[in-house]
């Protein structure tokens, strides 16, 4: 199968799980579509790009990503147009950002055709999973991680890139209550705050847990140096209306 300039090996699925799911009313990140895209990097080259049935991947306990967190990811959405056509919102920006994150973690760049052409073909094949109900979308999660079977502390030589997707409704069903914290920081100058890497999110979980214990939905983060400038919320952008 050819998508623009990219050759993709497509494995047929024997059975679709979509009839077992209510894709218009799915909890965030718990139900996944039938297929996933997989591409491996090793020996200095990208290998065959595949679209295969969604499923588990083999993983050795010595896998370097488990020990040193060399992994980055993205998040974007597919929508259904009034005519039923699948639509993606600015995937080029996600492609640019995942490679900026990869650079920060000493990971080789993902080729544009693997990310963009592979993404478009995956969504074309799984387009039935895009919800039809207003407010529901198909959330897409590209993830890129080190796969060396080694516990030596160094950039890996092999990597795996995967794209999965899941139908989702609104992340929050009601208005959101936020708490401003100066106890923890999300990012600091010279750190990895600008990269979308897994460790940034793992480090935010305690603050999020404590916020929920106090009756809030999420944390509004302040800058790491002076703790007086608002940076972001953990799950969304923040906008302010001043002197309206």
Catalytic option among 12, 85, 154, 196: 196
Q: What are the domain boundaries of the chain?
A: 2-168, 178-233
The model's pTM is 0.93
- CATH of region 2-168, choose from 3.40.630.30, 3.30.470.10, 3.40.50.300, 3.40.1440.10: 3.30.470.10
Q: pLDDT tens digit string along 62-77?
A: 999 999 999 999 999 9
- Lowest model confidence (mean pLDDT) among 123-127, 162-166, 223-227: 223-227
Q: Looking at the predicted structure, is the pLDDT value of residue 5 above 70?
A: no
Has 196 been annotated as catalytic?
yes
Residue bearing the bigger pLDDT, 137 or 26? 137
- What is the pLDDT, as a whole number, of residue 3? 40
Q: What is the mean pLDDT of the segment spanning 54-68?
A: 97
Strands (E), the chain: 2-3, 6-10, 35-42, 45-53, 71-73, 76-80, 86-88, 137-146, 159-168, 178-181, 218-222, 230-233
């Amino acid at each position: 199968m050819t998508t623009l300039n990219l050759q993709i090996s497509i494995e047929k699925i024997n059975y679709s799980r979509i009839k077992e799911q209510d894709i218009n009313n799915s909890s965030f990140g718990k139900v996944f579509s039938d297929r996933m895209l997989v591409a491996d990097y090793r020996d200095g080259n990208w290998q065959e790009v595949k679209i295969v049935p969604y499923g588990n991947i083999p993983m050795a306990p010595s896998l370097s990503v488990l020990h040193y967190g060399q992994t980055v990811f993205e998040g974007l959405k597919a929508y259904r147009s009034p005519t039923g056509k699948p639509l993606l919102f600015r995937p080029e920006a996600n492609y640019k950002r995942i490679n900026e994150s990869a650079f920060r973690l000493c990971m080789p760049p993902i080729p544009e055709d693997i990310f963009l052409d592979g993404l478009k073909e995956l969504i074309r094949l799984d387009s039935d999973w895009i919800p039809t109900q207003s407010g529901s979308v198909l959330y897409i999660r590209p993830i890129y991680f080190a796969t060396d079977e080694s516990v030596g502390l160094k950039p890996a030589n092999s990597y795996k890139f995967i794209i999965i997707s899941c139908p989702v409704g609104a992340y929050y069903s009601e208005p959101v209550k936020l708490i401003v914290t100066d106890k923890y920081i999300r990012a600091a100058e010279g750190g990895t705050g600008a990269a979308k890497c897994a460790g940034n999110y793992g480090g935010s979980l305690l603050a999020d847990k404590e916020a929920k214990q106090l009756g809030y939905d999420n944390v509004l983060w302040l800058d790491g140096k002076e703790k007086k400038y608002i940076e972001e919320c953990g799950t969304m952008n923040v906008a302010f209306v001043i002197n309206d």
